[in-house]
């Protein structure tokens, strides 16, 4: 009986040089798209924020564009034995730069930040762009793509992010997003649009601090009540004892 030819699941399969530390790091950077998908799904489920859904929809559309571009250019990879499919443009670079660019645009132009958190959007934007650049360069270092394939991927990802951000900004001004949130399905799913006006990190921390203060205040009041009860009971005992002795003296006088 002939055995079927086996193949590997290339979704997380990365070729790298185990004796090169930068090659090892680049191999893990190749898993960033998978990690981001998990992050998207987790955030959508945990926060029910419509903005995260919008960003994820654009990410999927960017992946669809990459699929079309690869089959349009039909350019081979620099090393045929490494990687599957066409190389132009790099899907990893396009994926990472869409995420970094859209996140930067959201933090800098859409989210309303408090005065105390002014440096954070700029810092987070720079970190996301640097991380995307590291992912893009790792594709060249591992010889999965040429420099031109990576640069085109970066440009395509950033272009998709800018176009989708502008389209969603127009949709917000026209009331489309608000109308979607009023739908029965979105209300049943408890979708909301709070992340535009508040930071999830700061809002969650404020709720936690208020709850902690309330708990500490309640415990303090309960402690004072216990002290008052204990103190009042002791005084009553002394008073009772005094009354008892007074009653004994009256009995002696009557006798």
Q: What is the pLDDT of residue 203?
A: 63
Q: What is the pLDDT of residue 115?
A: 52
Q: What is the pLDDT of residue 242?
A: 47
CA torsion angle 107 108 114 117 (round to 10) = 80
Q: Tell me the average confidence (pLDDT) per consecutive run of 10 residues in the chain, 255 residues long.
A: 70 85 93 94 92 96 96 87 82 96 92 63 92 95 93 97 96 92 91 80 70 78 73 54 49 49
Round to whole Å and give the CA distance between 193 and 50.
6
Round to whole Å and give the CA distance between 181 and 188.
10
Q: What is the pLDDT of residue 78?
A: 87
Q: What is the pLDDT of residue 24?
A: 93
Q: What is the pLDDT of residue 159?
A: 97
pTM: 0.77
> CB–CB of 149/73 below 8 Å?
no
> CB–CB of 122/114 below 8 Å?
no
Round to whole Å and give the CA distance between 86 and 153.
12
Going from N- to C-terminal start, the domains of the chain cover 21-194, 199-237
Q: What is the pLDDT of residue 234?
A: 53
Q: What is the pLDDT of residue 201?
A: 64
Q: What is the pLDDT of residue 255?
A: 47
């Amino acid at each position: 009986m002939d055995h079927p030819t086996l193949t590997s699941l290339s979704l997380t399969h990365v070729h790298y040089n185990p004796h090169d530390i930068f090659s090892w790091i680049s191999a893990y950077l190749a898993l960033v798209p998978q990690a981001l998908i998990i992050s998207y799904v987790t955030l959508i489920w945990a926060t029910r924020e419509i903005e995260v859904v919008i960003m994820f929809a654009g990410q999927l559309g960017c992946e669809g564009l990459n699929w079309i571009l690869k089959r349009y250019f039909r350019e081979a990879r620099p090393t045929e034995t490494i990687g599957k499919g066409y190389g132009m443009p790099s899907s990893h670079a396009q994926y990472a730069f869409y995420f970094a660019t859209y996140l930067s645009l959201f933090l800098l132009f859409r989210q309303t930040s408090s005065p105390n958190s002014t440096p954070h959007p700029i810092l987070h934007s720079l970190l996301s762009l640097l991380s995307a650049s590291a992912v893009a360069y790792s594709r060249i270092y591992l010889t999965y793509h040429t420099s031109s394939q990576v640069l085109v991927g970066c440009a395509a990802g950033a272009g998709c992010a800018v176009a989708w951000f502008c389209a969603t900004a127009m949709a917000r001004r026209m009331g489309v997003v608000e109308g979607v949130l009023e739908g029965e399905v979105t209300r049943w799913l408890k979708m909301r649009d709070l992340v535009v006006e508040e930071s999830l990190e700061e809002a969650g921390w404020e709720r936690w601090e208020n709850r902690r203060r309330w708990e500490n205040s309640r415990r303090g009041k309960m402690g004072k009540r216990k002290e008052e009860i204990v103190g009042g009971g002791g005084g009553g005992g002394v008073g009772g004892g005094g009354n008892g002795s007074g009653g004994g003296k009256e009995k002696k006088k009557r006798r």
